Amino acid sequence: MGDGMLKKISIRKIILSSLALFAMFLIYIIPANENTLNIKEELEYVNTNIESSPIFLMDQNSYVALTSVAVNDTNIENKARQLIKVLTIGGMDSKIPSGFSAIIPPNTEVLSLSYENGVIKVDFSKDLLNISEKLEEKMVEAIVYTLTSIDKVDGVIIYVEGDILTKLPKTKINLPSTLDKTFGINKEFDLTSTKDITDVTIYYINQISDNYYYVPVTKYINDDRDKASIIIDELSRNFNPNKNLMSFLNDGTKLVSSEVKDGYMYLNFNEDILNSSVSEDISKETLDMITLSIGANYDVKEVVFNVGDRELYKIAL
């Protein structure tokens, strides 16, 4: 196998490339004047300590969607505080990408925040509960998915004025004391019985202008197959304009086999996953959807894409 056949991509590049395009857009719209040089110099100075971080904000279709913002601190607690501020309406609106919006009610304050043994404990003011019934659960999803996307954070405990939030007051949904991504996001229920219920989180694509972004949906279905097979079957047959969700996976794509070994997920596909019969390429959007979906359901560090006996891509999570 030639070196050109093996392509290595990092999911973090999805975030970084989006942030770079957003920065270029800002520079483009700033009119040239005598202050331009000073602005550029200040940006260059600040950027020495800035990195992009995943965040889950509301999109225009009321989905909690994955995008990214710049944060200027790598300390876990400080980063968490900044991300919560971006999630809060009126907190740091200038950081929110076009087409997205914050969800935590305005005037909500973080009374305390600490990190220990993989868990963030955050105590909010009672303003947190000043939210509509239809957005109450989505707010918790946004907080949990955002904070557990920080490296080394596995769970979140939400307090309100010193008490653990164990039930949402409007929807009456019970919450575990420690929340993680198993809580689900943008939940959909398609059940015909109480047997063989599986929850699987699948990342779809949506679009703002010419820019694509990713929307996770946790589906509860009657299916006892392995989750990798469910993910590929769902993505290969799903295009639902009524739900504003897209998939770029070719209709005939089949997962021939999958295996988790030593922290790697090995996926073996038929030829239909390729962009064309004369190329060894898979579209970036297809790679992103599958890799994000696998990462949401399996504890692996890398996803390996094979077609037949040919290893084409390795993507780090």
**DSSP secondary structure of 199-224:** EEEEEEEEEETTEEEEEEEEEEEE--
Confidence of residue 12 (pLDDT cuts 50, 70, 90): low
Residue 16 has a pLDDT of 52
Q: In whole angstroms, what is the distance from residue 166 CA to residue 235 CA?
A: 34
Mean pLDDT of 80-102: 95
Is residue 65 a contact partner of residue 214, using CB atoms and an 8 Å limit?
yes
Confidence of residue 239 (pLDDT cuts 50, 70, 90): low
The H or E element that residue 168 is part of is none
Residue 11 has a pLDDT of 54
Domain residue limits, the chain: 53-180, 187-316
- Phi/psi of residue 55, each to 5°? -150, 150
**Percent share of the chain, pLDDT over 70:** 83
Alpha helices in the chain (DSSP H): 12-29, 36-46, 76-87, 133-147, 227-237, 284-297
Q: What angle do CA 300, 297, 282 make, to 5 degrees?
A: 75
Q: In whole angstroms, what is the distance from residue 80 CA to residue 224 CA?
A: 36
Place of tokens 């965040």: 55
Q: Specify the amino acid at residue 300.
A: V
Mean pLDDT of 223-244: 84
Place of tokens 């579209």: 283
Residue 51 has a pLDDT of 81
More reliable by pLDDT, 23 or 142: 142
Highest mean pLDDT among 25-39, 145-159, 191-205, 224-238: 145-159
Residue 237 has a pLDDT of 80
**Percent share of the chain, pLDDT over 90:** 71
- pLDDT tens per residue across span 275-317: 887 788 999 999 999 999 999 999 999 999 999 889 999 999 9
Question: Taking the CA of residue 108 as centre, how many other CA atoms within 13 Å lie in the half-sphere pointing to its CB?
Answer: 27
- pLDDT tens per residue across span 187-228: 999 898 888 899 999 999 999 988 999 999 999 999 999 999
Place of tokens 């390996």: 304
- DSSP code per residue over 40-76: HHHHHHHGGG-EEEEEEEE-TTS-EEEEEEEES--SH
